[in-house]
Amino acid sequence: MTNPLDHFITVDQFAARYPWPSKGGLRWLIFTAEEKGITHCFIRVNRRVLIDEIAFLKWLEAHRGVPVGKSGIVRRVD
């Protein structure tokens, strides 16, 4: 039987598994989560933040090909 909390990981664990975002970039996403609409991807336990890995990756996939910046350039995440 799998543990229902297995998909919650720390910032360090996330950074070790994925090349993007960097630790600093991930911390910025956590800091600005409310304005970005991704509060559902993070759980705060005292000072520690756990990342819902599945929810974060789904959010990231939903933003694939979304125009970025004033130029309207589409950035792809592959």
**pLDDT tens digit at each of 78 positions of the chain:** 566 667 899 999 999 998 888 899 999 999 999 998 899 999 998 989 999 999 999 988 887 766 655 555 445 554
Q: Distance between CA atoms of 3 and 58, rounded to whole angstroms?
A: 20
Domain boundaries, the chain: 8-74
CB atoms under 10 Å from CB of 65, counted, come to 10
Provide the pairing of β-strand 48-52 with 8-9.
Answer: antiparallel
Contact between 14 and 53 under an 8 Å Cβ cutoff? The reply is: yes
What is this structure's pTM?
Answer: 0.73
Q: Distance between CA atoms of 65 and 52, rounded to whole angstroms?
A: 22
